Structure 1
């Protein structure tokens, strides 16, 4: 039996299978080895298989890098996890009990999965601190959020989050006046305000200066442990600087997976990806 088969739900003792452990509704149960289970996922668009029998597992607290050429299925992978796209076949579980294929995007975000898109989407006319206030977990409108007094505990939390991403000194600065890299960090901070257990980060260093890239690498590494972090990125130098485990996608499937040094020397990976990007 292969390692992949060992972790499949149909190869795990029934009480430990995702979707079978009795816990309170909405409670994340990581009683198994993984926080995310994706098994045999296929997604087709007009006959084109964006994902093709893809199986992927993410451990609690790990930093996983996802690489692959354009069209490999990286964005579709994140769309399935966040509920934006429903798979044609396969299963996707968050922890042991939450079937992501049966949950709405809002339910998935509330359950503890946060996504930072490639292009930063901050509120430019509000300060960095106000952006975090708007992003704070809990349903509310923009004006309701800004008019409702912030408690001391909430303020400390926002300040701590800004410090985590290196923006505490800019807390009163308008988000629109921040540099591109700072806006990226601010959006990561906004996602962190939702208290995600799994954080999806899409091409975080696009358009950054070298100094900002180095700071982003440090930030993502510091978030791993408390959060599971999945990073999709094309810059191989950046991936090498942060990667422990790397998953390579090709034509919607997992081509290779393992330690960075092993993956980058895999002839299949060199042929379809690394050889093209240098």
Structure 2
């Protein structure tokens, strides 16, 4: 089994994610149509598009939830994602955050991050018994990254919507993934929470590759360096936010709605 640490040399430069010629049909409906997409190591990529464009299905393929009818999906240059199960894909270093936060409501923020380490079975026997100094330092580091140091002992259920979203991102960070897939992170957030989320996601780029699927164009504009527009299951346009916004095809099918 190839683990995330084995990818270090593989993803230092160039693409970390290769999706080529992917096709998926559900009951005759073509959800993904010859989709080809590359994401570089350390890149923050925004993916936009109208409902039904294939954004969720694309992430389902990357994480092993959906198997394509044809095409290839590689992580780094060596790992064929289509040959791995969902747990194996998580283990090699791909983390996914869904739109609705799924935290352990009756556990503290600290305990949520502690439990997130349990995915590593080598750590599990030590949980709630005695954390090592390095494990505590890692939790402290993630708390600082997600801005929840002061809420460390609060029950997760008592957090605001935005704080729950940040906690779930923190839980993914406890796995130290190479690639983070983040689905509509600012839905339902206040303007202030959106600004903090923008800072959080941009701070993660570099050490991690981050793919953000989002509908809020103001938010995308605040974080995006490169934007991919999906339409009818394939890439319609790609480039900077300005380039995408001024593309007549994008205006017609999405931004002009």
Mean Cα displacement is larger for which, 32-41 or 88-97? Answer: 32-41
Counterpart of 1:139?
121
Q: List gaps (5 residues or longer) in structure 2.
A: none
Shift of 1:33: 2.0
Query: So what's the TM-score if we normalise by structure 1?
Result: 0.88
Equivalent-residue separation in structure 2 for 1:165 and 1:119 (angstroms)? 17
Partners of 2:46 and 2:212 within 8 A in 1: yes
Q: Say if 1:140 and 1:113 are closer, same or farther in 2 by CA, change over 3 A.
A: same
Equivalent-residue separation in structure 1 for 2:122 and 2:107 (angstroms)? 16
Are positions 1:108 and 2:89 aligned together? yes
| Aligned counterpart in structure 2 of residue 95 of structure 1, from 70, 76, 91 | 76
Equivalent-residue separation in structure 2 for 1:40 and 1:132 (angstroms)? 37
For the pair shown, which has the larger CA radius of gyration, 1 or 2?
A: 1
Q: Say if 1:48 and 1:120 are closer, same or farther in 2 by CA, change over 3 A.
A: same
4+ residue segments displaced more than 4 Å: none
Query: So what's the TM-score if we normalise by structure 2?
Result: 0.95
Are positions 1:197 and 2:178 aligned together? yes
Counterpart of 2:206?
225
Counterpart of 2:221?
240
Shift of 1:30: 2.2
Q: List gaps (5 residues or longer) in structure 1.
A: 1-23
Root-mean-square deviation (CA, aligned residues, Å) is 1.6
Partners of 2:15 and 2:39 within 8 A in 1: yes
* Structure-to-structure mapping, 1:1-278, within 5 angstroms: 25-26=2-3, 27-28=6-7, 29-30=10-11, 33-136=14-117, 137-139=119-121, 146-276=127-257
- Tell me the alpha carbon deviations over residues 111-132 of structure 1, each in whole angstroms, 9 at most, x when there is no partner: 0000001000000110000000
